[in-house]
Amino acid sequence: MGDTITKLSDPSTRALFNKGAIDILLLIHDYPDIILSELISRAKMSERTVSLRLNDLIHAKFVVERRGQNNRRQLRLTKKGEKVAELLKQAVLLAVSSSA
């Protein structure tokens, strides 16, 4: 258990626990290659909040960005980000099924 606590305090892992980060991660999972303006619109958060959380997720290697058509920022999950998103979705399904 102590090892898990240590890993939770790692800066890359902490990126997930900032308000809105999981929402952004799951939106990118559901909309691969989403452009930044669409992410901001769908996230229903301020542009600043999305930008801060996104930078944290990129730094933690959960998300990568590339320049797409018209030099727009397109966002996609890394393999690490995909795995975390899938585990989060499974946790939600488990929580919902356990409460029934």
Query: Over 60: is that where the pLDDT of 57 sits?
Result: yes
- What's the predicted TM-score (pTM) here? 0.84
73 three-class SS: strand
Banded model confidence at residue 69, pLDDT cuts 50, 70, 90:
confident
User: By residue range, what is the domain housing residue 89?
Assistant: 2-99
CATH number for the domain spanning 47: value is 1.10.10.10
- The CA distance from 29 to 57, in Å, is 13
What letter does residue 72 receive in the DSSP assignment?
-
pLDDT at 76: 97
pLDDT at 14: 80
Query: Over 60: is that where the pLDDT of 100 sits?
Result: no
pLDDT at 50: 95
Please state the domain count of the chain.
1
Residue 9 in contact with residue 16, Cβ under 8 Å? no
